[in-house]
Amino acid sequence: MIRIGTVGTNWITQQLVEALALSKRYELAAVYSRHEDTATAFAAKNHAQASYTDYRDMLQQADLDVVYLASPNSVHFEQAMQAIAHDISVIVEKPAFSNRQEMIAVQAALAQHPQVKFFEAARHVHTPNFHAIEKALAGLTTVQGAALTYMKYSSRYDDVLAGGTPNVFTPEFSGGALQDLGVYPIYLAIALFGEPTDVAYYPTLIATGADGKGLAVLRYGDFDVSVSFGKTSNSYAISEIYGLKETITLDSVGELTHVEQYDETGTVQNLSQPDLANPMLPEVVDFARVLTAPDDAQNQADYHRWMAWSLTANRVLYQLRVSANLRFPADDND
Amino acid sequence: MIRIGTVGTNWITQQLVEALALSKRYELAAVYSRHEDTATAFAAKNHAQASYTDYRDMLQQADLDVVYLASPNSVHFEQAMQAIAHDISVIVEKPAFSNRQEMIAVQAALAQHPQVKFFEAARHVHTPNFHAIEKALAGLTTVQGAALTYMKYSSRYDDVLAGGTPNVFTPEFSGGALQDLGVYPIYLAIALFGEPTDVAYYPTLIATGADGKGLAVLRYGDFDVSVSFGKTSNSYAISEIYGLKETITLDSVGELTHVEQYDETGTVQNLSQPDLANPMLPEVVDFARVLTAPDDAQNQADYHRWMAWSLTANRVLYQLRVSANLRFPADDND
């Protein structure tokens, strides 16, 4: 069993902990929260072996194989660096780091700790429906880009409209729509099409100074991918990948709930795989494979592929912010 | 009855002629085609009073009130200028003219012939469903832009792939996806939101040198409108206008077949008006009102509004081309 510690106690960590249990590959060795009440309540609810209010104590005392980071984006870097220094592997929620500088420092630390594995928790690109899209894409003779949309009103935007500054909507916590929702379609584009040659970002700014919604353009030479996302409005449109006369459609870029393909006559074929018990289950199973058998050739190949996606996503998110002159306090060391 | 002459004999002119008949406001006084066989066949089929193979002869001899131009885009300007010089009103298929220069010259000619009316046949912004969208938009307290998509594979692209250069896909005829399909969502955006403060265009070029598909960004300060269109692939996605928690959706930007509104709970309400007998009927009825009662206050107001849309669409289409460095031979007099 893989001994894991968690950082963060909101819905995404709860979902992760349930996925860990379903996978039967992990034991929840420790949970961390800054607040003792929150830490003990989360530990009790999820039968964790221990709870901590000091992150370093957890790394030193809990005998962890891996730590899962679902803290505010701006904190990922420091927490990942400490875990790596303690020879503990890291699963970090997307987007992994605030900027290029941080990712480069993490890469250097990983090179010094070659047994440590690093995973970015881009759950959707580990799902069976992602693999169904990959397979359908490989069957197209011509690829003419895609239009990916992920836009869902966040109740936290009610707080912003009332004058508040919730973490996910503030530059101080490296927040905003690009980091929080844009990362899903951008990861998907990178996993399917590789690194774009050029990018542009058209954000719509909100009262906190962050982007509440936006339109990103990823250019690939032969085609473009348009990426629409936002937390201040609701979209009901499907996402699409364009062949010549064929079109692959997908529902909900974050969950990839439904995948279909239209042929040239407009006839539609359902490519969807069975529903998942938990949307994070495939990624934690994938990560467990690599953690328990790191020298297996397939696991090595997968690990390098995921790392390449993570590095590319980090570059692209950063280039998009730069193109729109959107800076975070975390960028001050650039 | 309004005496009308037509230029062009393809499907769009056929549809227009049928709309004219349904309106009971026009008589088909003359049809023009360069080729005698085509002219006489089209005239016979549609019970036209006369047919011509010389455009100037038609203007001089057919006693026309108005001429309808559905020639290749690059020819609109010369044909419109001749009609105006003969004190004949003009209905021109969208996009009216190739560039700013041509539109400015037409404006000057119209100023010299104040009795002549000029209409751009943007059929969709005359439909009951367009007015349903306008009304729904007016009911939103917040507007956060829109994503408009109009992408349909053209059989003419088969010709391009086989090495051909069909008019609609060549710069020589001021063709391409922006002019041919992009004009619909761009007109819709202008009619709903006014003139953008800034624009960008990301075209995908095809073998003819024209844009086969593309992504346009219309910026309005407080929000952006993304516009996706193309003739080399098929889209099945709805278009959307974003309120705060409400979203207005529309099917087929060219025809506006279906309009719905989602409220903040995700409940959908159908705002669609009854299907049209002919998608061009509302515009020809609108134009007939102005031609027969030009001094009516409502007709004057509508005419000025339509003219403003046409001038703005001309500017925006041109700015989009300039932003992407897409030039037509018709621009050589710039």
CATH classification at residue B45: 3.40.50.720
Q: What are the DSSP E strand ranges found in chain A?
A: 2-7, 26-32, 51-52, 66-69, 89-93, 118-121, 146-151, 198-205, 211-219, 224-230, 239-242, 247-251, 258-262, 268-270
Verify that B108 and B230 share a domain, yes or no. Answer: no
Name the interface residues of A facing B (CB cutoff 8 Å): 144-145, 147, 149, 151, 153, 200, 202, 204, 213, 215, 217, 219, 222-224, 226, 228, 230, 232-240, 242-247, 249, 262, 264, 266
Dihedral angle sign, alpha carbons of residues B274, B276, B279, B281: negative
For residue A332, what pLDDT band results from cuts at 50, 70 and 90? confident
**Which residue reads 């997908």 in tokens?**
A250
In the chain, the amino acid numbered A28 is: L
Q: Do A222 and B242 touch (CB under 8 A)?
A: no
How does pLDDT run across B113-143, given as a tens digit for each residue?
A: 999 999 999 999 999 999 999 999 999 999 9
In a domain? residue B191 = yes
Residue A295 belongs to some domain of the structure: no
For residues B75-98, give the mean pLDDT: 97
Average pLDDT of chain B is: 96
Q: Which of A151, A215, A249 sits opposite B224 (nearest CB)?
A: A215
Contact B232 A144 (CB under 8 A): yes
Query: pLDDT per residue over A211-258, tens digit each?
Result: 999 999 999 999 999 999 999 999 999 999 999 999 999 999 999 999
Query: Does any domain span residue A290?
Result: no
* Whether residue A268 sits in one domain with residue A146: yes
Residues B37 and B167 in one domain: no
Asked if the model's pLDDT at residue B334 lies above 90, the reply is no
Tell me what pLDDT residue B226 has.
98
Residue B264 has which token pair?
Answer: 């903040």
Q: Has residue B196 got a pLDDT over 60?
A: yes
Angle formed by the axes of helices A281-292 and A11-23, nearest 10°: 60
Q: Is the pLDDT of residue B227 over 80?
A: yes
Let me know if residue B329 belongs to a domain: no
A116 lies in the same domain as A129: no
pLDDT the model gives residue B213? 97
Q: Which residues contact A108 (CB under 8 A, 6 or more apart)?
A: none
Does B141 lie in the same domain as B257?
yes
Domain final position from B121, B151, B182: B121
In a shared domain, residues B152 and B272: yes
Q: Contact A204/B144, CB-based, under 8 Å?
A: yes
Same domain, A114 and A132: no
Percent of chain B with pLDDT over 70: 99
Cβ contact B118:B97 at 8 Å:
no
Q: What is the pLDDT of residues B50-83, one digit of tens each?
A: 999 999 999 999 999 999 999 999 999 999 999 9
| pLDDT score, position A333 | 61
Chain B CB contacts of A213 below 8 Å? 144-145, 242
Among candidates A147, A230, A245 on the partner chain, residue whose Cβ is nearest the Cβ of B153: A245
Rounded CA-CA distance A17/A38 in Å is: 15
Are residues B183 and B133 both part of a single domain? Answer: yes
Q: What is the DSSP letter of B166?
A: -
Q: Is residue B332 part of a domain?
A: no
For residue A270, the model assigns a pLDDT of 98
Percent of chain A with pLDDT over 90: 96
Distance (Å, whole) CA B168 – CA A280: 48
Q: Write out the residue range of the structural domain in which residue B201 sits.
A: 128-279
Residues of chain B with C-beta less than 8 angstroms from the C-beta of A224: 202, 204, 215
Chain B residues contacting A via beta carbons under 8 Å: 144-145, 147, 149, 151, 153, 200, 202, 204, 213, 215, 217, 219, 222-224, 226, 228, 230, 232-240, 242-247, 249, 262, 264, 266
Write down the mean pLDDT value for chain A: 96
pLDDT band at B333; cut points 50, 70, 90 = low
Residue of A nearest to B250 (CA): A237
- B230 domain-assigned: yes
User: Mutate which of B202, B225, B253, B260 to disrupt the A interface (most A C-beta within 10 Å)?
Assistant: B202
Instruction: Scan for tokens 């008949």, then name that residue.
Output: B21
- A59-74 mean pLDDT: 97
Do B146 and B171 fall into the same domain? yes
Residue type, B287: F
- For residue B270, pLDDT over 60 is answered with yes
User: So what's the pLDDT on residue B162?
Assistant: 96
Based on the fold, state whether residues A13 and A142 are members of the same structural domain.
no
| Domain-located, residue A329 | no
CB B97 within 8 A of CB B314: yes
ipTM: 0.93
User: Domain total for chain B?
Assistant: 2
pLDDT band, very low/low/confident/very high, at B332 (cuts 50, 70, 90): confident
- Of B56, B88, B121, which one is at a domain's C-terminal end? B121
Between CA A10 and CA A18 the distance in angstroms is 13
Sign of CA dihedral B241, B247, B251, B255: negative
Residue B292 located in a structural domain: no
Domain final residue, candidates A70, A98, A121:
A121
* Judgement on whether residues B36 and B136 belong to the same structural domain of the protein: no
Say if residue A212 is in the same domain as residue A198.
Answer: yes
